[in-house]
Structure 1
Amino acid sequence: MNGSAQRTLLITLTGRDRPGVTSRLFTMLSEFPLTVADVEQVVIRGRLVLGVLVTYPEGTDIGRVWTSAERVATDLDMEIEMSTGRDKSMPSRRGRLHVTVLGAPLRPDAMAGISGRIAAGGANIDRIERLAHYPVTCIEMDVSGADPEALRAALAVEAAERQVDVAVQQGGLHRRAKRLIVMDVDSTLIQGEVIELLAGHAGCLDEVAKVTEAAMRGELDFEGSLRERVALLAGLDAAAIDAVRDQVELAAGARTMVRTLKRLDYKFAIVSGGFTQVTDGLVEDLGIDYSAANTLEIENGKLTGRVTGPVIDRAGKAAALERFAREAGIPISQTVAIGDGANDLDMLQAAGLGVAYNAKPVVRKAADTAVNVPYLDTILFLLGISRDEIEAADAADAVHTAR
């Protein structure tokens, strides 16, 4: 309207959800010279809240619209609220952020603290949706009017105080465009560290575990620490590798995560400071698209205490991420990296989204977001994939397989 204030009518219906409510309201509104400006709808425990914001030109008999809307509400046995106004700046969905909250359990004080921080920063919560109720409760909020970095910093403090996980991401196509997931292996995709399992067979577990822990904290150069630990394995029978393969356990939710992402045509990669003798089996078992890891040298059926080829260290992981993205034809901005140790830092910072998964403090501080619950599939929620969608896909696959 040439920049002039637009006349608006906000209609909110509340009541028992049933088929046809939205259709009935819009059918009535179509009888008038109105323009739809915004729509929000949510259903909680069978109770519907439907909000419709319309604009109308000067001269419209808004009293008739009001009366007709009340009649619809009466027929549907629903409550209705209406208000008129003049708005020079209609609501825009541009520049929104997704704030994802994970809790097990998720308590009211956590939501109060997070929503308070959002308000204190001058931002507004436009929409709230539950993505999952198990294995964790996941709530997602669409937030507008916030500075991403300032909000991320404020919510990180609140999350630590409330013992929940909070992720802040750009909304809209920015998140939906993520197409390549690159994940660390030891203590991320799988439980524990492969080199420590091997050390257990070699009788040097305590020595290796001590060096591993220091390397994970970033206190030691990774390549040097790897060579030091592998040297302790010299003389170990190569058959121990087979035993270790049998010992390896996937992280809780790992199969669900990989299966779901593959269904959605994501590319999935693993990059490890561990060993190809174990990661190759994971690639075959899970249908992983790309992988990179170190290789233990074996001579005459024994480990020599050396690795062959270039070491996959901190820089090597970031390089692998870039290589996988090139091979997949996917921009780096559309990648997600997941890891837990200092060796993953370059990879996490290079990716479009870096997720610290049950990580050391130095990694949590540097990553875009952190997940500290022991369920790998909760990372799906950060991508906007709900538990209901995961289960529906599983059910559809089961039916297809049965046929």
Structure 2
Amino acid sequence: MNAPTSPSPENALLITVSGPDHPGITSELMAILHAHGGAVDDVEQVVVRGHLVLSLVIEIGDPNTLRKELLLLAYDRNLQITFETVKATPTERALGAVVTVIAQSISAEALGSIASNIARCGGNIDRIVRLARYPVVAYELVVLGVPIDQLRAALGALAGPLGVDIALQRDGLGLRAQRLVVLDVDSTLIQNEVIDLLAAEANCEPEVAALTERAMAGELDFEQSLRARVKLLTGLHESALAAAAANVRLTPGARTFIRTLKQMGFKVALVSGGFSYFTELLKEELGLDHAYANELEVLNGVLTGRLVGPVVDRERKAALLREIATLEGIDRDQTVAVGDGANDLDML
């Protein structure tokens, strides 16, 4: 290994250490740098599957004696170490965009396609970090050099074909602030459609399915379809609600997802076009902060086939997101909405 040239005031020394990770490596390295009067200008460290990669930029007058001690440390610790002279002036780093990729599994093809599209629109990946491994895989990519709107256009169409979810956010301190996450329920937080579970209890599944098809064909809007389907439940005993709730199945990973959000200090709310009986149960079970949905009218222990209060449609969902954010004192830019249908579009 050739000795680097002595850094001038315009230059600094980039030291890269890699190899098996062990407790004490960083502290020993810093002790040697301190003993030789090295000033740390920058440092990055990551451990992947027990393999350490640590890079430092330091300013030091004569690196030769330092180099010998660091080589000895590397030998004793079974590490590799390299030295390179770099410019002392820090690289200017403008805030970029954070791209989060989530799926059951993420292939090299998927990551490659995302990286290619980032490069094609002039972006550069500054950093990649794995956020989760189970029950879903998630990676965070910090991208520089391209406006977030352009990046969103470049990546938006990839999610479906690649079988992944892609979310984009602006980088900055705001990412570390308190956040609000608002979730749809049917076919999002849970695997079921609650109206179908109730239809099974009321023995009117074909009729409910026909109304759903008409709504999807554009013959009925959401409110018309919902009220027509609820009317089919007329006379159903309220005990059927508990029977239907027993068949509710959380989406795989949902419990872990919410527990993680709560541990991070996030507020989590449900805003559903379904029914409040079920969202209240989920709120209690999962320890959520808010839950809003349509209320089924019950008189004398049976469903009347009517709703109480305004329908939670797409406009109401967006309004509820704003109301919850205001109540919690969270800026709109710090809110995230998760949904799967047209009824969720306004809050997304």
Fold match, TM over 0.5? yes
SS at match of 1:70: helix
Alpha-carbon distance change, 214 to 34 in structure 1, aligned in 2, over 3 angstroms: farther
The percent of aligned pairs where both chains have the same amino acid is: 50
Change (3 A) 1:173 1:110: same
Tell me if the contact between 2:135 and 2:253 (Cα under 8 Å) persists in the aligned partners.
Answer: no
Residue 49 of structure 2: aligned partner: 45
CA RMSD of aligned residues (A): 2.6
Question: 20, 23, 42: which one pairs with 1:19?
Answer: 23
> Aligned partners of 1:184, 1:45: CA distance in 2, in Å?
36
Match in the other structure for 2:256: 256
SS at match of 2:186: coil
Within the alignment, does 1:6 sit opposite 2:10 as a pair? yes
CA contact (8 A) 1:178 1:336 kept: no
For residues 16 and 197 of structure 1, what CA distance do their matches in structure 2 show?
A: 53
Matching residue of 2:5: none
Structure 2: state its 5+ residue gaps: 1-7
Question: Residue 290 of structure 1 aligns to which amino acid in structure 2?
Answer: H
> 1:207-226 to 2 correspondence within 5 Å?
207-212=207-212, 215=215, 220-226=220-226
Aligned to 2:153: 153
CA 1:258–1:103: 2 relative to 1, 3 Å: closer
On the 8 A contact 2:135/2:252 being kept in 1, the answer is no
Contact 1:156 1:166 in 2 (8 A): yes
1:309 aligns with 2:309: yes
Aligned counterpart, 1:206: 206
Tell which deviates more after alignment, 26-35 or 213-222.
213-222
Task: Tell me how far 1:215 sits from its aligned partner.
Answer: 4.2
Given that residues 218 and 342 in structure 1 are in contact (C-alpha distance below 8 angstroms), is that contact kept between their aligned partners in structure 2? no
Q: Summarize the Cα distance change of 1:14–1:281 in structure 2 as closer, same or farther, 3 Å threshold.
A: closer
What letter matches 1:15 in structure 2?
G
How many aligned positions are there? 341
Deviations 1:155-206 (A, max 9, x none): 3344444333333322342222242222112222222111122222223212
Extract unaligned runs of 5+ from structure 1. Answer: 349-403
Provide the rounded CA distance (Å) in 2 between the counterparts of 1:92 and 1:38.
13
Alignment CA distance shift 1:302-1:159 (3 Å): closer
Partner Cα distance (2:42, 2:119) in 1? 22
> Is the counterpart of residue 167 in structure 1 residue 167 in structure 2?
yes
Distance in structure 2 (CA, Å) of the matches to 1:123 and 1:53: 25
Mapping of residues 334-353 of structure 1, within 5 Å: 334-348=334-348
Instruction: Give the whole-Å Cα distance in 2 for the aligned partners of 1:123 and 1:80.
Output: 30
Distance 2:217 2:15 in 1: 55
Q: How does 1:2-401 map to 2 (within 5 A)?
A: 6-55=10-59, 60-86=61-87, 88=89, 90-212=90-212, 215=215, 220-348=220-348
Distance 2:287 2:33 in 1: 51
Distance 1:174 1:215 in 2: 39
Distance 1:23 1:76 in 2: 13
Given that 1:38 and 1:91 are in contact with CA atoms closer than 8 Å, whether structure 2 keeps it comes out as no
> What is the CA distance between 1:307 and its match in structure 2?
0.9
Preserved CA contact (<8 Å) 1:216 1:341: no
Letter in 2 for 1:26: M
Amino acid in the other structure paired with 2:143: V
The farther-off stretch of 223-232 and 66-75 is 66-75
The 3-state SS of whatever aligns with 2:244 is helix
Structure 1's 196 and 171: CA in aligned 2 closer, same or farther, altered over 3 A? Answer: same
Deviation at residue 286 of structure 1 after TM alignment: 2.5
- Counterpart of 2:335 in structure 1: which amino acid? T
Instruction: Label 1:86 to 1:119 Cα distance change in 2 as closer, same or farther (>3 A).
Output: same
Structure 1 residues 173 and 83, CA gap change in structure 2 (3 angstroms): same
Instruction: Work out whether residues 185 and 271 of structure 1, in 8 Å CA contact, stay in contact via their aligned partners in 2.
Output: yes
Inter-CA distance 214–260: structure 2 relative to 1 (3 Å threshold): farther
Q: Distance in 2 between matches of 1:310 and 1:74?
A: 71
Contact 1:188 1:251 in 2 (8 A): yes
Question: Contact 1:217–1:342 (CA<8 Å) still a contact in 2?
Answer: no
Q: Tell me by how many angstroms 1:310 deviates.
A: 1.3
* Inter-CA distance 108–242: structure 2 relative to 1 (3 Å threshold): closer
The one-letter code matched in structure 1 to 2:109 is D
SS of alignment partner, residue 187 of structure 2: coil
Higher alpha-carbon deviation: 213-222 or 94-103: 213-222
**Equivalent AA in structure 2 for residue 285 of structure 1:** E
Q: 1:138 to 1:283 in 2, by over 3 A?
A: closer
Q: Which moved more, 1:281-290 or 1:157-166?
A: 157-166
**Distance in 2 between the 1:62 and 1:272 partners?**
63
Judged with a 3 Å threshold, the aligned counterparts in structure 2 of structure 1 residues 236 and 162 are, in CA distance, closer, same or farther, namely closer
Cα deviation, residue 110, structure 1 = 2.2
Residue 51 of structure 1: CA displacement?
Answer: 0.9
Q: Distance in 2 between matches of 1:54 and 1:214?
A: 68
Instruction: Go from structure 1 to structure 2 and tell me whether the alpha carbon gap of 1:233 and 1:160 turns closer, same or farther (over 3 Å shift).
Output: closer
Letter in 1 for 2:75: T
**Counterparts of 2:299 and 2:124, CA distance in 1:** 64
- After superposing the two structures, state which structure 1 stretch, 96-105 or 179-188, moved more: 96-105
CA distance in 2 between partners of 1:312 and 1:303 (Å): 19
